[in-house]
Amino acid sequence: MKKFIALLFAAALSWCVAAIAVAETNEQVVKENTIAKTAKQISSDEKMMPTPEVQLKRLTKGLKLTAEQQKLISPMLEDEYAKLKELRQADNLNLSPKQIGAKVEALRSETASKMQTVLTPEQKKNYDIVRKEIRANKKKRIKENRKGRIGIRAEPLAQ
């Protein structure tokens, strides 16, 4: 009789442990989905990326673009903006954030290489410096945002 009660107690205990594990897994999935939806909603907001007009204005001021250079660069920026907007509004739930980031980076690199054909050597040098600075600031912002989302641990989760 004692063996039966012990066996019954062990079965009940293992059932409770399994129920807790499943509940934690479901909570994690819900949390991940909520974070993904929030990130997608924020990223689809146009405030996240400057319009081509704003970008052109910044480039003109920073690189001292001529009117002819502005006319050539403007369609490049508009094309990039349209593609980025399409990418951000598309249903990319089957792509990981890293894959989406890679697509965005490839698109930006393509636009930058097109712009290089229009710039003078001095402007190219300044543009490269600015791009490196922007990337460094982006990494810093990502790390700070990650801290805000997941707490003190700012390193990416192992996958």
pLDDT digit string (tens) for 64-92? 999 999 999 999 999 999 988 888 776 66
**Same domain membership, residue 53 and residue 7:** no
Neighbours of 69 (CB within 10 A): 19
pLDDT surpassing 60 at residue 155: no
Q: Residue 20 belongs to what domain range?
A: 1-37
**Same domain membership, residue 87 and residue 66:** yes
What is the predicted pLDDT for the residue at 46?
A: 47
Model confidence, pTM? 0.58
pLDDT surpassing 60 at residue 39: no
The radius of gyration of the chain's CA atoms, rounded to the nearest angstrom, is: 25
> What is the average pLDDT value for the chain, to the nearest integer?
78
Q: Which residue has the higher pLDDT, 24 or 112?
A: 112
What is the predicted pLDDT for the residue at 113?
A: 92
User: By three-state DSSP, how is residue 159 classified?
Assistant: coil
CA distance 137 to 144: 11
**147 inside domain:** no
**Same domain membership, residue 123 and residue 55:** yes
**Same domain membership, residue 63 and residue 129:** yes
Least Cα distance to 114 among 58, 71, 69, 73 occurs for: 73
